A and B are shown apart, each in its own frame.
Chain A
Amino acid sequence: MTKWGMVIDLDKCTGCQACSTACQMENNRLPGENYQDVLYYTDRSQPTPKLVWFPRPCMHCEEPSCMHVCPTKATFKTEEGVVLVDWNKCIGCKYCMIACPYGVRFYTDEKPVIEPNVKDVFPGTGDLSWNPPYKGPQQDNAHGVGIQPHGVVSKCTFCYHKISKAPKGTSDLSNEDPALREYVPACVRTCAPTARYFGDLDNPNSEVSRLISDRDGARLLEHTGNKPQVYYLGRSAVVPGFKKS
């Protein structure tokens, strides 16, 4: 069975945010609710400062605490290892946002980060929270894809609307193969230095599996036990602890 996962090479990532922008376009995200962000951490001070980039999608954890705490099973994991939110079931209790150690979940009805509120400029019809002039993927509420309805939580879907259409048994989804490009998640597709890889973690011959094995792929915040399906390569794949600035 396929188990989709991602590998992000921090030695290649330039922190350009192209992945975040692509995700915003693909999934109609607004500032403050990016499914994909490039975080940065600073550590130490001059003359030995450290600056770390962390492209951060949802980790699609093997043991997703968001799913375990959800009182309605609105958050679920597909057979292919993708963690999704069924907007038809979500009651907006936000417990999943409390329980996700990676801070990747967003509630629809929040104060806008920038004014004017774009959602007010393009008001939604029916249950939908807004109606952007360009809509990316087909609306699929049962998998948390498309424009968010009011009162629910959403998150990165690994571009479920794309990857779920890939031919069965595909080991890697990359730009290399023109026939598969359509199915590659938007962030992976856009990354100019090819810092992101996407493929089947259960297939020992997939490129993602080999990279993880050859280069000691690390998962962030291992101590949480969530076992992310997103791996990081490079020496800087360690998250510094919280400091008050």
Chain B
Amino acid sequence: MSTITNLAPDQASISRISNLRLMVGVTGLVLGLLAGIGLLSGGHATFNTSSLLTWGLPVSTYVFFVLTSTGLTFVASLAMVFGLKDFYPVAKRCVWGAVVTLVIGFISLGLEIGNPIRMLWVIPTNMAVTSPLWWMGLFYLTYAILLFWKFHLINQGDWSSQLSKLVGIASFVAVIFAHATLGSVFGMMAMRPFWYGPMVPVYFLITAFLSGLAFIMLFINLDYGVNQSNMSEGAARAMSRQLPAIFAIVLGLVIVFTIAKTMTGLWTNVPENKIVTQHIASSFLFQFELWIGMVLPFLLMLTAKRHEAKTQVVAGGLVIIALFIGRYEYVVGGQLVPMFKGAWADGLIDYTPSLTEIGIVVLAVSIGILLYAFGDKRLSLSDQPNA
């Protein structure tokens, strides 16, 4: 009896969570496909974006997930590139998570673009090297190939051959470039003062890292039934010791960045920055993002409970929501002031994502959830190199 009570509850909670995950994934997939039908019949006219506000929720979702992929690769690299061995037990999960979040990002963007298939030949044949978007595509493609390759290698048990190490280092370098060019896609737009600035790639770097850490805090704990005694000793150590500390430091930096950006925006006289920042800062979303999504998890990380799975799940989940809101505010915020429309458009642009746009996000995320569930079931994500 006693052995059963030792084992059974944990196994039960693991499979309960994994069943729940499957259910969420399948429901999301059905709902997302319904939205997909809307897209097929009505095209992009079913979006609430327009010539006034061009990039909406699907683009900010893309930014959120590809940067999360970046962050997960960073965490995996702690072990695989920088030799912090404590992170080996979560490394394979991170790499698979990076693959999945990259796929989610690509789906979201692919369904937003007018002619995605045409990209396959016009981008490589035209070499538009002045375009930050071209470089972003190049680096993300390189990163995607290396990431899949790296996963394939470790999935075959090859963690430390010369080739495997090299692919790991190369994918780490590629993703740094990829995320930096993604930052430049926005940061180089001098005509949009809310975005403009050379620090955007740095801001993206640090929030990407936070995003990756938050995903681990949430999903790895869920994978083990929100109970670190279900983990191997090494994994439990990484999750309860190092991870909360790194998470808290990076979260602290992101809070400083967020406050600094907001204060600068409120102080400046440039209308495209000041009016937009006033608008954002006074919104419920922003207040939630800052206080509940960032400050609260930060405070949680300062308590002794930071080592516990439950606290980590809450903190990770809240930070993920905050970062998602942050990406949305950033992408949409840069476009809220109408570009040279005179008195035809004399207020900030009104934009709420349409059902189709939300559906695309649901579709992409649920495909991601199912892919992750597949990995969890079939790809032995808890593997680590034999010490």
- A: residues with CB less than 8 A from B are 32-33, 37, 39-42, 54, 56, 65, 68-74, 89-95, 97-112, 117, 150-153, 220-221, 224-225, 239, 241-245
Contacts and interface: CB of A to CB of B under 8 A. Distances in A.
Contacts of B47: 110-111
Contacts of B50: 32, 107, 110-111
Given A39-B344, A99-B189, A224-B190, A71 B115 contact: no
24 contacts: A39-B341, A39-B344, A54-B342, A68-B130, A69-B133, A71-B131, A72-B126, A73-B127, A89-B122, A91-B113, A91-B115, A91-B116, A93-B113, A93-B114, A101-B339, A102-B340, A104-B340, A110-B50, A110-B51, A150-B43, A150-B114, A151-B113, A224-B191, A242-B337
A244 B113 contact: no
Contacts of B342: 39-41, 54
Contact of B114 (A40, A65, A100, A108): A108
A99 B128 contact: no
B48 A69 contact: no
Contacts of B128: 70-73
A237 B121 CA distance: 43
Nearest to A239: B340
B246 interface: no
A99 B343 contact: no
Contacts of B122: 72, 74, 89, 91
Counting chain A CB atoms within 10 Å of each CB, the highest count among B126, B275, B337 belongs to B126
Nearest to B51: A106
A242 B342 CA distance: 9
A39 B191 contact: no
B45 interface: yes
A165 to B, nearest CB: 27
A98 B59 CA distance: 12
Nearest to A110: B50
A41 to B, nearest CB: 5
Contact of A221 (B44, B123, B337, B340): B340
Contacts of A107: 44, 50-51, 54, 114
B275 A244 contact: yes
Nearest to A112: B45
Counting chain A CB atoms within 10 Å of each CB, the highest count among B54, B119, B189, B340 belongs to B340
Counting chain B CB atoms within 10 Å of each CB, the highest count among A90, A242, A243 belongs to A242
A71 B114 contact: no
The 7 closest A-B pairs by CB, nearest first: A92-B114, A151-B114, A39-B342, A103-B339, A109-B44, A101-B191, A71-B134
A35 to B, nearest CB: 12
A91 B121 CA distance: 10
A72 B138 CA distance: 12
A237 to B, nearest CB: 14
B132 interface: yes
Contacts, number: 147
Interface in B108-142: 113-116, 118-119, 122-123, 126-128, 130-134, 137
B289 interface: no
A245 B118 CA distance: 42
B48 A111 contact: yes
Nearest to B190: A224
A90 B119 CA distance: 9
Contact of B54 (A73, A90, A98, A244): A98
Nearest to B138: A71
B45 A71 contact: no
Contacts of A110: 44-45, 47, 49-51
Given A40-B343, A111-B50, A242-B275, A72 B191 contact: no
A124 to B, nearest CB: 11
Interface string B208-236: 00000000000000000000000000000
B329 interface: no
B271 A243 contact: yes
A44 B272 CA distance: 19
Given A90-B114, A91-B115, A111-B45, 20 more contacts: A32-B51, A37-B344, A41-B343, A56-B340, A69-B132, A73-B127, A89-B118, A91-B119, A93-B133, A101-B191, A103-B52, A107-B50, A109-B44, A110-B44, A111-B48, A150-B43, A242-B275, A243-B271, A244-B346, A245-B346
Interface in B42-65: 43-52, 54-55
B348 interface: yes
A68 B50 CA distance: 22
Interface in B314-369: 335, 337-344, 346-348
Contacts of B75: none
A92 B191 contact: no
Contacts of A150: 43, 114
Contacts of B44: 92, 107, 109-110, 151
Counting chain A CB atoms within 10 Å of each CB, the highest count among B49, B191, B192 belongs to B191
B282 to A, nearest CB: 13
B48 A71 contact: no
A128 B237 CA distance: 60
Contacts of A242: 271-272, 275, 337-338
A201 B205 CA distance: 45
B154 to A, nearest CB: 33
B185 interface: yes
A225 B131 CA distance: 17
A96 to B, nearest CB: 9
A42 B43 CA distance: 37
A109 B45 contact: yes
